[in-house]
Amino acid sequence: MIRDYYPAANSGNLFYSETLTTSATPHLTAGVPDGSETISDSNIQSLSRDFVNGGGQVIWSDKYFYFGGLTYSQTVSLSSGVPADIGASGTDFYRTTMGYDEAGRQNEVIAPTGTINREVTVSAA
């Protein structure tokens, strides 16, 4: 399942795109899945979230690998300048952080391992 989460205006919560697999039985309307099945921590099998800035650029990407003891929630806010997502980075998910230059080009990737890759664009004078 792929879906976008749009927070309420002025809520302070973040917009993101989410990809997940679940063992929940699909809810059908006229024989067609309608997406209204209950998603919970007990039926999530995989989960990833891409958090996007106002320019539509992915700035954080979280890939989950452990769901034990987590409570699924769609609401995500900022804490100390980063998403306060379900669980803990490095314990329940791996977070990749992306940076962009003034022209909007991706110029930095910080891997979950802490490795930083930067690209410098030099313009001809």
What pLDDT score does 125 carry?
64
What pLDDT score does 110 carry?
96
What pLDDT score does 63 carry?
96
Q: Between 35 and 101, where is the model more confident?
A: 101
Quick one: how far is CA 59 from the chain centroid? 9
Neighbouring C-beta atoms of residue 5, cutoff 10 Å: 15
User: Rounded distance, CA 2 to CA 81, Å?
Assistant: 26
DSSP E strands in the chain: the ranges are 2-5, 16-22, 28-29, 32-33, 44-52, 58-64, 77-79, 82-84, 93-100, 106-110, 116-118
**Mean pLDDT computed over 95-124:** 91
Q: pLDDT digits over 37-65, tens only?
A: 888 888 899 999 999 988 889 999 999 99
> Poorest-confidence range of 9-18, 95-104, 107-116?
9-18
What pLDDT score does 51 carry?
94
